[in-house]
């Protein structure tokens, strides 16, 4: 064996690539600790309810890619910590069938390879705009989607799909549609701009920090939905199928959508997601100045969509207060710290007191950089939970999780 043979192979296999950690890329920290968590917590209620009535679950994943939804489904955190032996609400053995449906041959093949040998996991190719054959494998307890797959369908195509789902399920079925939302601060150009129905999207954020502009061939077309629009859609569905349809909407990634950092659709790039990625990382500190979220570029949208604008402004206000408070804490400006705690609403002042306790006790944490390892991740989780606790969604985030229940009658 050559002296370098092992290392030649290891380098060729990619083990010596530059480690980007969670700071950039498809599976960055925000996706892992914020967006995936939002998706899982949203699914938890429905999965728990199903498992209350039966031992195993049958699930279909619309636009499944290579099975990311299966990972979400089987890694839903438990709500309580009294049962440490039960790590997740649902494990792979609680699944009778997971069926991933996707239009892309490569995605389906990768999914099959990823889960080869798992009898309860299947993938099939299908264009959900016209091919409903996945329903032959039903009935399903839950039909869901992750990361905006059904936004590839027009309203008419989605309506046809929902009618077919209803026809194939004479009993109650839950459909979770994860959609691109219309009123994200990422793309004010799309706010209330009805035509054309399918609008541009791109994933140039995959190439950050090297490149911020998409190539022509990277652009594709999707439908962006408003919260009220989704409710009207469900009303129409209800009339068509003559069964009761319930819907609730959660906004996802309001200030940290991927295109906040690229600025492709607003000419105002801000490295906010980059900074939150750093907060979640145990080795990096966040930077106060670029973490604050200046929404003045949306001023002229106040009248276009007042409810959505006010929701974003309210959340951005709380966000900025937490950043300013952090600055006061670390610059030992005790008067400002006290003032923030005394004058902020309780849901913020409670978090502030906890953060002040952490900072006062910093020396008790056996870490090398308290800011990076303890404070940063805590602050990131607070900013995230403020979003999770927002009221009924309006479609003002990057994504919108629409929970639709088609009842038995």
Ligand X SMILES: C[S@@+](CC[C@H](N)C(=O)[O-])C[C@H]1O[C@@H](n2cnc3c(N)ncnc32)[C@H](O)[C@@H]1O
Binding site for ligand X (CB under 6 A): 63-65, 68-69, 102-104, 107, 127-129, 146-149, 152
Question: By C-beta, is 189 or 206 nearer to ligand X?
Answer: 206
User: Cis omega (within 30 of 0) on the bond before 244?
Assistant: no
- The minimum distance between CB 193 and ligand X, in angstroms, equals 22
Element (H, E) at 347: helix 346-360
**Shortest approach of ligand X to residue 128 CB, angstroms?**
4
DSSP labels for 144-159?
E--TTGGGGS-HHHHH
Query: What's the token pair of residue 382?
Result: 């607070």
Q: Which stretches of 95-222 are assigned E, i.e. beta strand?
A: 95-102, 121-125, 142-144, 173-181, 199-201, 220-222
Q: Which residues of 281-319 are buried (b: 16+ CB within 10 A; e: fewer)?
A: beebbbeeeebbbebeebeebeeebeebbebbeebbebb
Closer Cβ to ligand X, 103 or 381, answer by number: 103
Q: Which is nearer to ligand X, 107 or 272 (CB)?
A: 107
Work out how close the CB of 222 gets to ligand X at its nearest, in angstroms, rounded to a whole number.
9
Decide whether 149 or 166 has the Cβ nearer to ligand X: 149
| Closer residue to ligand X (CB): 180 or 191 | 180
Nearest CB to ligand X, comparing residues 73 and 323? 73
Least distance from ligand X to the Cβ atom of residue 119, Å: 22
Whose CA is closest to 276, among 390, 351, 378, 367? 378
And the tokens for 48? 């728990």
Burial 161-195 (b: 16+ CB within 10 A, else e): bbeebbebbeebbbbbbbbbbbbbbbbbebbeeee
> From CA 91, how far away is CA 71, in angstroms rounded?
10
> Min. distance of Cβ 146 from ligand X in angstroms?
4
* Alpha-carbon radius of gyration of the chain: 23
Cis peptide before 18 (omega within 30 of 0): no
Nearest residue (CB) to ligand X, 92 versus 285: 92
Length in residues, the chain: 409
Complete DSSP assignment for 361-404: TGGGS--S-HIIIIIHHHHHHHHHHHHHTSSS--S-SSEEEEEE
Task: Quote the least distance from Cβ 296 to ligand X, whole Å.
Answer: 31
Query: Which is it for strands 224-225 and 220-222: parallel, antiparallel or unpaired?
Result: unpaired
Minimum distance from residue 62 beta carbon to ligand X (Å): 7
Identity of the residue, 179 or 356, whose beta carbon is nearer to ligand X in the bound complex: 179
**Can you read off the two tokens belonging to residue 6?**
């092992």
Query: In Å, how far are 85, 131, 172, 204, 207 from 210, measured between CA atoms?
Result: 44, 39, 48, 10, 6
Can you list the alpha helix ranges (DSSP code H) found in 206-345? 227-241, 258-262, 272-280, 288-291, 306-330, 334-343
Nearer to ligand X, 65 or 188 (CB): 65
Nearest approach, Cβ of 145 to ligand X (angstroms)? 6
Q: Where are the alpha helices (DSSP H) in 13-139?
A: 29-30, 36-53, 68-73, 105-114
Q: How far is the CB of 149 from ligand X (least distance, A)?
A: 4
Q: Measured from the CB atom, is 68 or 94 closer to ligand X?
A: 68
Q: C-beta of 39: minimal distance to ligand X in Å?
A: 8
Query: Closer CB to ligand X, residue 133 or residue 310?
Result: 133
Nearest-approach distance from CB 38 to ligand X, in angstroms:
12
């Amino acid at each position: 064996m050559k002296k370098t043979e092992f290392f030649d192979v290891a380098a060729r296999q990619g083990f010596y690539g530059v480690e980007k950690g969670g700071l950039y890329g498809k599976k960055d920290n925000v996706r892992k600790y914020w967006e995936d968590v939002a998706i899982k917590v949203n699914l938890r209620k429905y999965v728990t309810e199903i498992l209350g009535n039966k031992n195993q679950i049958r699930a279909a994943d619309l636009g499944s890619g290579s099975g990311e939804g299966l990972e979400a489904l089987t890694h839903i955190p438990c709500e309580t910590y009294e049962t440490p032996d039960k790590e997740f609400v649902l494990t792979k053995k609680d699944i009778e069938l997971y069926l991933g449906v996707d239009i892309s041959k490569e995605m389906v093949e990768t999914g099959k390879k990823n889960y080869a040998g798992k009898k309860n996991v299947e993938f099939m190719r299908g264009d959900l705009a016209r091919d409903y054959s996945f329903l032959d494998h039903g009935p399903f307890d839950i039909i869901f989607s992750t990361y905006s797959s059904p936004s590839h369908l027009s309203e008419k195509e989605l309506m046809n799909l929902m009618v077919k789902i209803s026809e194939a399920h004479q009993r109650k079925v839950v459909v979770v549609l994860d959609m691109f939302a219309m009123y994200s601060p990422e793309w004010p150009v799309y706010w209330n701009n009805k035509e054309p129905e399918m609008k541009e999207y791109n994933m140039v954020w995959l190439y950050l920090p090297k490149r911020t502009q998409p190539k022509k061939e990277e652009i594709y077309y999707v439908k962006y939905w408003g919260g009220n629009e989704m409710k009207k859609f469900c009303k129409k569905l209800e009339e068509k199928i003559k069964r009761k349809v319930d819907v609730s909407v959660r906004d996802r990634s309001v200030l940290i959508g991927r295109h906040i950092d690229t600025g492709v659709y607003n000419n105002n790039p801000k490295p906010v997601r980059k900074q939150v990625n750093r907060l979640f990382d145990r080795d990096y500190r966040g930077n106060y100045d670029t973490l604050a979220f200046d929404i003045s570029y949306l001023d002229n949208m106040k009248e276009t969509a007042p409810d959505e604008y006010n929701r974003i402004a309210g959340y951005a206000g709380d966000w900025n207060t937490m950043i300013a408070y952090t600055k006061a804490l670390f610059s030992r400006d005790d008067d400002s710290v006290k003032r923030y705690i005394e004058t902020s609403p309780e849901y913020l002042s409670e978090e502030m007191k906890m953060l002040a306790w952490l900072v006062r006790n910093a020396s008790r944490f056996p870490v090398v950089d308290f800011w990076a390892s303890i404070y940063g991740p805590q602050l990131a989780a607070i900013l995230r939970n403020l979003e999770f606790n927002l009221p009924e969604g309006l479609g003002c985030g990057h994504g919108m999780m629409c929970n639709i229940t088609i009842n038995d009658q």
